[in-house]
Amino acid sequence: MPPEKPDESSEPPKPGPDALIDTLKLTDGAGFLVRVVSSRATAVYERLTGQAEVTPQQFGVLLTLHQRGALTLTELAEALYLDRSTLGEMTRRMSARGLIHRRSNGADRRSTKVSIAADGEAALGRLIDGAAALQEILLAPVPPEERRQFLHHLKRVAMAIDAPSEIPGLSSAIGSRGI
């Protein structure tokens, strides 16, 4: 009887935890690299803007409200890809500092509507040049002709967890890990 041919359509077996512990290289991992870029981007943002009072996320709130006008917390959370509870606490702090206005949404008293305040507009004006320079610095290591594609892939990774059905195979990978 001839030896059985391996099924070429099947995937090789996945290594067990012991093998992963020995072979997984932290510094090559996407999660590790995203964290490094995030922490370094925040440090550079603070240097370029000359302050640490308005965080990069708060800058995003100010810029979005400036560009889109008053929004409900739900609309703002969707625009910034933040969860409502995190955003709610952040906007309370920003309101206490006079950067934004928070008010009950007349159409639905259970929701809150936020808009940029005069002090928020002033802060945005002071920070915009540094924030724009940060974009150039972050992309500097990527050749100019590759930046559009790099940003496309970065955005795809950033959005994938919220929309796993749009990436082939991601839904099953996420589901198998209980995410």
pLDDT digits (tens, 9 = 90+) for 57-100: 999 999 999 999 999 999 999 999 999 899 999 999 999 999 99
Q: What's the rounded Cα separation, in Å, for the pair 59 and 133?
A: 14
CATH 1.10.10.10 assigned to domain 41-141? The reply is yes
Which residues neighbour 16 within 8 Å (Cβ) at sequence distance 6 or greater? none
pLDDT digits (tens, 9 = 90+) for 109-148: 778 999 999 999 999 999 999 999 999 999 999 999 999 9
- Beta-bridged to residue 41, according to DSSP, are none
Reply yes or no on whether the pLDDT at 107 is more than 60: yes
The domain segmentation of the chain, as residue ranges, is 41-141, 142-179
Q: What's the rounded Cα separation, in Å, for the pair 69 and 97?
A: 19
Q: Are 52 and 81 in contact (CB under 8 A)?
A: no
State pTM to two decimals.
0.79
